[in-house]
Structures are given as C-alpha cells and as structure tokens.
C-alpha cells in the first residue's frame, strides 16, 4: 500500500497487470503498472483533498499512464469535495498530463447519486482534456482487460 488515510477511506496501491494472450511468443508478456485508488465509505472534504493530492504526486513521480479509480464501496463524498475536484484539481491534472495519453478505468459506485455525479464530471473532463481517456466499469476484471488493451 502506497498510501492510506487514518480512517482507511482513501487507499492507493500500485498493481501490475499482465496479458498472457498478448504475445505470439509466450516468452514476451505485456505488463503494465497501474496506480489504483479506492474510495470507501463516507469521506470528509479533507480526506478527499488529501487523497487526491497524494494520488497526483504519486502518479507524476511514478510516470504512470494507467489508473483505476475504485468507487465500488464509496457511499458519500460531500458536495464541497466534488466542487474542489472540478474547479481546482481537474484543471491541474489536465495541464500536468496534456502531453501524453492517460487511461482511467473507473469502477462505479453502487450509490445512484454518486454514479450520476461521477459520470457527469468524467464526461466534462474528457471533453476538455482529450488526453484523458475514461471508461466506466462495474467489475474489476473488465476494467483490467480494457487497460491492458490500451
């Protein structure tokens, strides 16, 4: 685990994905490093900000191209968190990574309101920042397959 806050509502880890079917010569297997974050339960504004700021630093330092945002267990994040995310965080993220395509697999929350909010924000991000490619998934296996094919 690269990061976890005190209440363990925001976690970040690095995972390695491999596609054994990608190579004709089975000695060469495609692998990618992915930064995966988990939002769990009910986050505070401070936890949301600290977690995403940490994620941004790790993403830059590790020169990652791939990420998974696992919102499956997210119950609630405050409206102030989403406002900060859209007005402050996303513009910095977009500018930081404008020179290279990045791929984000997003595992949707089971909470209908969270799902709608995330979809709305993500579609706006993709329209503004063409190098950020986001796809939505309900299961981790589908998300991993999509990332490995990018």
pLDDT at 127: 67
Averages of pLDDT over runs of 10 residues in the chain (150 residues) are 97 93 66 96 96 96 96 91 89 86 89 66 70 90 95
pLDDT at 96: 85
Between CA 90 and CA 119 the distance in angstroms is 14
pTM, entire model: 0.88
Phi and psi at residue 31, to the nearest 5°:
-130, 150
pLDDT at 9: 97
pLDDT at 80: 95
Structure tokens at 141: 């296996």
pLDDT at 129: 74
Q: What are the residues facing 133 on neighbouring strands?
A: 103
Element (H, E) at 26: none
Burial label, 11 (beta-carbon count in 10 A; 0-12, 13-18, 19+): middle
- Top CATH class, 3-148: alpha beta
Domain ranges of the chain: 3-148
């Amino acid at each position: 685990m690269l990061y976890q806050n005190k209440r363990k509502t925001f976690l970040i880890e690095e995972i390695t994905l491999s596609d054994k079917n990608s190579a004709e010569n089975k000695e060469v297997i495609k692998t990618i490093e992915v930064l995966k974050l988990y939002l769990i339960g009910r986050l505070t504004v401070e936890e949301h900000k600290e977690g995403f700021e940490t994620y941004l630093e790790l993403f830059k330092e590790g020169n990652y191209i791939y990420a998974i945002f696992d919102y499956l267990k997210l119950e609630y994040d405050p409206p102030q968190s989403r406002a900060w995310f859209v007005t402050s965080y996303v513009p910095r993220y977009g500018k930081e990574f404008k020179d290279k395509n990045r791929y984000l697999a997003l595992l949707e929350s089971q909470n209908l309101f969270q799902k709608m909010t995330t979809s709305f924000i993500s579609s706006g991000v993709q329209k503004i920042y063409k190098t950020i490619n986001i796809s939505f998934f309900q299961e981790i296996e589908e998300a991993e397959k999509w990332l490995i094919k990018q």
